[in-house]
Amino acid sequence: MPTSGTLFESLIILSHVTMFLSLLVVDWIVLVESIPEGLVFNSSTTHQSIYEAWLNLISGAQSSLDIASFYWTLTNDDTHTHEATANQGEQILQELGQLSGKVSVRIAVDKPSERKPMDDIKFLTDSGADVRMVNMRELTSGVLHTKFWIVDKKHIYIGSANMDWRSLTQVKELGAVVYDCSCLAKDLGKIFEAYWYLSQTKTVPAQWPEKYSTLYNKDTPMQLSLNGTDSSVYLSSSPPSLCAEGRTPDLQSVLSVIADAQQFVYIAVMNYLPTMEYSSHKRYWADIDTQLRRVAYERSVRVRLLISCWDSTNPIMIPFLRSLASLQDKSKLDVQVRLFTVPTNPRQKQIPYARVNHNKYMVTDKVAYIGTSNWSGDYFVNTAGSALVVNQTSAQSISPTVQEQLQAVFERDWESSYSTDINHRTNRKDIC
Ligand SMILES: *[C@@H]1O[C@H](CO)[C@@H](O)[C@H](O)[C@H]1NC(C)=O
Ligand SMILES: *[C@@H]1O[C@H](CO)[C@@H](O)[C@H](O)[C@H]1NC(C)=O
Ligand SMILES: *[C@@H]1O[C@H](CO)[C@@H](O)[C@H](O)[C@H]1NC(C)=O
Ligand SMILES: *[C@@H]1O[C@H](CO)[C@@H](O)[C@H](O)[C@H]1NC(C)=O
């Protein structure tokens, strides 16, 4: 029988050992990007490629990989071209196939319409992956647009890249990987489990069971140490009907991040529309637009939007952006809009749905928001998406924060020769 003295001593030793171990296991976060072939920035701001990050995650997987995805075209069979730059996507698919034979691989994918390619999905199923279709069209009249990975219930990837070879080499993308962070992975797992459940049902539960609920949201974020920096972190989700108890809906997250900014709000998204883009009747939807105008007017917050311009840009987006960009008045009102165009050579022009900036993030003087949604009403009202919000404002850290890194990415793109100021004469056709 140990005396209380020795028990006490062993407890102290034990707690030192635990402290030591917890110092060894550091959660870390890495921004990851896809920079399209031929796009060159005159800047030292670079990040690991999404391709490398995915390969790392696959090679490190010990027991499980869960992927939420919109569609799968990792080989270029879909385009009937022979693109050398499809090799990265093809390699990812091969590696995922091999992994599917070894560990549990679960894939939730939006139920493909008749015309969507099914080859990758069939290949993964044959390789041993458990693939389930989520019929969001029927469930919420939206789509499953979310893109994230959860590895070994420990590491996560979230970002704009689809499971598409173009997302690695021909489309500009941004995401984040968080390693060794089981608390965050567990919380993202709840969003994944909701998709998994929905793949087996015809209606969205009016009340989600307890196991899908979360303690972590915009009011009570998770307290983590990322790269040794104190961080408040949470995950938001859309549409609201998919949010169990405690989960911050993605729109509330966007609005609160904008409201919290003191100096600036920088937004880089592919599409920005104060409308319900896909509704059969015209519907105006200005929740985000109003919030931006409000902070610009009431608190002189500097607002910058970097929006994508390509062949398929909805022409109506331009006048709405011109309207925002007209809010300029010396130092009192400062809203600026630029269009980002990915240059295209004749060969690249042959690749459908490529050569575009597909980013979906926001950075303020306080917070980094990394999402998966385009910014129009549909994506917040009926389409499934999610976002990672990282707040390191309270940290006294000398190492760069995620917010600073994301701000540098935004400024690199904003200042680059690929961005053009929008003005009252701007027509889509003149720019892209
Ligand atoms: C790159 O930026 C530096 C510093 O701003 C400038 O001196 C240089 O001329 C630029 N180079 C190109 C190719 O734009
Ligand atoms: C970020 O954290 C600070 C300090 O903890 C808090 O006051 C602020 O509301 C947070 N911002 C957001 C957008 O969550
Ligand atoms: C975002 O919008 C574009 C253009 O409307 C659309 O093609 C795309 O499917 C949407 N979502 C993605 C892939 O992120
Ligand atoms: C965290 O650490 C990783 C690995 O050293 C580094 O690549 C990344 O840039 C760091 N992230 C931040 C926000 O400092």
H/E/C letters for each residue in 201-249? CCCCCCCCCHHHCCCCCCCCCEEEEECCEEEEEEEEEECHHHCCCCCEE
For 44-66, what is each residue's pLDDT tens digit? 999 999 999 999 999 999 999 99
Which residue from 218, 255, 263, 366 has its CB within 8 A of the most atoms of ligand 2, so it is best to mutate? 366
**Distance (Å) from CA 259 to ligand 2 centroid:** 10
Closest CA to ligand 3's atom 1:
374
**Distance (Å) from CA 358 to ligand 3 centroid:** 8
pTM of the model: 0.92
Q: Does the pLDDT of residue 159 top 80, yes or no?
A: yes
113-122 own/partner pairs: CB under 8 Å, 24+ apart = 116/71, 117/71, 117/72, 117/73, 117/77, 117/78, 119/75, 119/77, 120/72, 120/73, 120/74, 120/75, 120/93, 120/163, 121/72
d(Cα 175, Cα 75) in Å, to the nearest integer? 21
Ligand 3 contact, 167 CB (< 6 A): no
Tokens in use for 231? 């961080």
Instruction: Pick the catalytic residue from 47, 66, 147, 190.
Output: 147
Ligand 4 contact, 397 CB (< 6 A): no
For 7-46, what is each residue's pLDDT tens digit? 555 555 555 544 444 445 579 999 999 999 999 999 999 9
Ligand 3 contact, 359 CB (< 6 A): no
Which residue from 232, 252, 295, 301 has its CB within 8 A of the most atoms of ligand 2, so it is best to mutate? 232
Q: Which of 335, 334, 317 is nearest to 274 (CA)?
A: 317
For 258-302, what is each residue's pLDDT tens digit? 999 999 999 999 999 999 988 889 999 999 999 999 999 999 999
- For domain 28-430, give the CATH superfamily: Endonuclease Chain A (3.30.870.10)
Instruction: Pick the catalytic residue from 358, 366, 378, 413.
Output: 358
